[in-house]
Chain A
Amino acid sequence: MSVDLEKLAQEEYKYGFVTDVEQEIAPKGLNEDIIRMISSKKNEPEWLLEWRLGAYERWKKMKEPRWAFLRYPEIDFNDISYYAAPKSNPRPKSLDEIDPEIKETYDKLGIPLEEQKMLAGVAVDAVFDSVSVFTTFKEKLAEEGVIFCSISEAVEEYPDFVRKYLGSVVPRGDNFYAALNSAVFTDGSFVYIPKGVRCPMELSTYFRINAENTGQFERTLIIAEEGSYVSYLEGCTAPQRDQNQLHAAVVELIAHNDATIKYSTIQNWYPGDKQGKGGIYNFVTKRGRCVGRSSRISWTQVETGSAITWKYPSCVLEGDNSVGEFYSVALTNRCQQADTGTKMVHVGKNTSSTIISKGISAGEGQNVYRGLVEIGKNAEKARNYTQCDSMLIGDRCGAHTFPYIEVRNSTAHMEHEASTSKIGEDQMFYCRQRGLSAEDAVSLIVNGFCKEVFKELPFEFAVEAEKLLSVSLEGSVG
């Protein structure tokens, strides 16, 4: 593998451009006034402001968690701006009302907001810094009773839902970053699927960080009523900047009886440059509650971006016969660090969970799988299957696995498989002997390694994910 591919390591991050748009940016720093300002900008009811302030009170007393296998300098939470929004029309009724610069941004990102140009069958909520700028296909979805809008709009239009479910999965004092998010969250998506409805299209949110020195704190809430089904996908990119930027999101999913929520993520935040300068710090709390019997929540993530990833999409399996799944590909190249995995908390009877994690480390990347499988004392006949595989490319990177298993019921059935492999010289040589270049060989082998996860993604996005992985791997052979 001593091919000279170092030049490819300089491969530009394709999404690193900045959109020049007039923005309203809150002064740096976090205090009650800022929270009041965010709340009033969004015309929020009193209870939500109180909820935010309560979260802030808790957050002030919390310590930043340092148990993860991540190294980064202390974050100065007063050196961040907590709100940035384009000055143009805050809630456009049609595309014509959107700032052309913003529309062009999404075009450049390959997410055209014109419905006829979209991938057939995918509705998009576009979040630009702190606000949702547009949601497509709303009317079509409304015909089925599906609500898909920004969370700010939901607060105004569907306050009862928001009040009932906000914080019901991730309480505002759950952890340091969730508390921070609860205090200052700005926008995100809201999805409600009524009883018995199979959502007719893929829903997706595209998160774009644009402004400098701001954090993005979005909050997503998805509720699937009895017997409903929804597949939701989020994508993320950010400009290339020398400073690190903070992204701390909270996602809450609720699945009632026989409901299924499939949540996929393709995370491609700016990862920083070769020397490790810049990049997004991604501290995210994602959790789903399978409250109903035979409900199912499935997380699929492809994590290729961010300088730091701290993320454990989890399932609380409360309903009997409920199912939780976690399929993950995490790639760390250059100086990226990822500490990611899942928690499967089995509460109900006959609950089952599957965890398939594929970690790929290249360059000086550090990749951690951290997972907890917890079988409660009443979770009769719970089952878990865990498989974590790590692949190393080169000799300066690292892979680490921290699986925790806590079983309080003797009828549980647990399986755990783990492997670590170095990308095989023999595999490389075999492919090259057949005529493939070294970089094509790496990409082929790694994509094969991730196949089990990619097949869980909606088709269009599986193709995207493969491409993204190849691009992210460029320069990893050298």
Chain B
Amino acid sequence: MLEVKNLHVQVDDKEILKGMNITVAPGEVHSIMGPNGSGKSTLAQVLAGKEAYEVTEGEVTFQGKDLLDLEPEERACEGIFLAFQYPVEIPGVANTYLLREALNAKREYRDEKPLKHVEFGKLAREKMKALGIDEDLLKRSVNTGFSGGEKKRNEIFQMQILEPTLAVLDETDSGLDIDALKIVANGVNSMRDSGRSFIVITHYQRLLNYIVPDFVHVMVDGKIVRSGGKELAHELEEKGYAGF
């Protein structure tokens, strides 16, 4: 599904990713762990198409397409979703409005009819109920005045509505209490199936008790230095990143 080969990325002339490789097959959950500044979030942003990041070398293919050739919105419509580490506030724009526009943009891309207000409302309420999120989140402006936990839950809610093929969760667990963490994890687990993949970026092993990954990768200084199964996360929790 996703293949990243020898990816080199720089920001403001500083190289952040220095030959990154990762292959994600359909249905797999990969976790990327690593110390601050190792380039984890950069990878997430590059996959989503953030323009400030310059790819100097390497390639990324997603479902057979050259991902780097696509605009951010095309990547989204192709099925890539990024749960942001810091979801931005958009004052005056109702959460429900953005999300309906987004879903309909995606549907249009696939030559499907747009969802009407009523249909969308029904879908949104179902998902919220399943996630245990308060409905009033729909009417509020996008992330505006949301608590840290609300912002993260909103990302998961959006993911549920948009049903991506590949979801990248960028430190979605940071700053969450245990209840919120469970909501996030349930949101992810309920979507796991043979056709959908996840890349879960995190500092802590804690999240991985709830979202059990197929693979764990350790990222240090812009590349993956070790890969293994879920037990690798436990090892990291014990020993830290000092050994890498």
Interface positions of A (Cβ within 8 A of B):
1-3, 424-427, 429-438, 440, 444-445, 447-452
Contact = CB atoms under 8 A, between A and B. Distances in A.
Interface string B37-76: 0000000000011111000000000000000000111011
Given A444-B93, A448-B93, A434 B162 contact: yes
Given A435-B73, A435-B77, A437-B73, 18 more contacts: A426-B88, A427-B90, A429-B48, A429-B50, A429-B72, A430-B87, A430-B88, A433-B75, A433-B84, A435-B106, A435-B109, A436-B101, A436-B102, A438-B73, A448-B92, A449-B91, A451-B92, A451-B93
Contacts of B51: 1-2, 429
Given A424-B88, A430-B87, A437 B105 contact: yes
Nearest to B141: A448
Contacts of B93: 444-445, 447-448, 451
A150 B196 CA distance: 66
B6 to A, nearest CB: 25
Query: How many residues of B sit at the interface, in one of the four size bands?
Result: 20 to 34
A438 B101 CA distance: 13
Contacts of A436: 73, 98, 101-102, 105
Nearest to B143: A430
Contacts of B142: 448
B82 interface: yes
A398 B50 CA distance: 26
B48 A433 contact: yes
Contacts of B87: 430
Contacts of A444: 90, 93, 97-98, 101
Nearest to B45: A429
Contact of B162 (A435, A437, A452): A435
A3 B73 CA distance: 11
A437 B81 CA distance: 15
A201 B93 CA distance: 30
B158 interface: yes
A430 B105 contact: no
Nearest to A429: B50
Most chain B CB inside 10 Å of its own CB: which residue of A431, A438, A449, A451: A431
A434 B50 contact: no
Contacts of B106: 435
A435 B92 contact: no
A450 B92 contact: yes
Contacts of A433: 48-49, 72-73, 75-76, 81-82, 84
19 contacts: A2-B51, A424-B88, A425-B52, A430-B84, A430-B88, A430-B90, A431-B102, A432-B49, A433-B73, A433-B82, A434-B102, A434-B105, A435-B73, A435-B102, A435-B105, A436-B105, A444-B93, A448-B93, A448-B141
A99 B48 CA distance: 58
A447 B97 CA distance: 12
B170 to A, nearest CB: 11
A425 B52 CA distance: 10
Contact of B71 (A3, A434, A440): A3
Nearest to B87: A430
Contact of A432 (B73, B99, B103): B73
Contact of A452 (B48, B92, B158): B92
A432 B50 CA distance: 10
A448 B101 CA distance: 14
B49 A445 contact: no
Contacts of B71: 3, 432, 438
A75 to B, nearest CB: 38
Nearest to B144: A448
Contacts of B49: 432-433
Nearest to B72: A432
B30 to A, nearest CB: 20
A291 to B, nearest CB: 35
Contacts of A430: 84, 87-88, 90
A466 B162 CA distance: 26
Given A431-B98, A433-B48, A448 B73 contact: no
A59 B109 CA distance: 60
Most chain B CB inside 10 Å of its own CB: which residue of A426, A432, A434, A448: A434
Contacts of B99: 434
B76 A447 contact: no
A121 B49 CA distance: 49
Contacts of B73: 432-433, 435-438
Contacts of A445: 90, 93
Nearest to B109: A435
B105 A448 contact: no
Contact of A448 (B81, B84, B90, B162): B90
B77 to A, nearest CB: 5
A451 B144 CA distance: 14
B92 A434 contact: no
Given A435-B77, A447-B93, A427 B105 contact: no
B91 A434 contact: no
A3 B51 CA distance: 10
Contacts of A451: 91-93
A50 B236 CA distance: 93
A1 B49 CA distance: 12
Contacts of B98: 431, 434, 436, 444
A434 B88 contact: no
B80 to A, nearest CB: 8
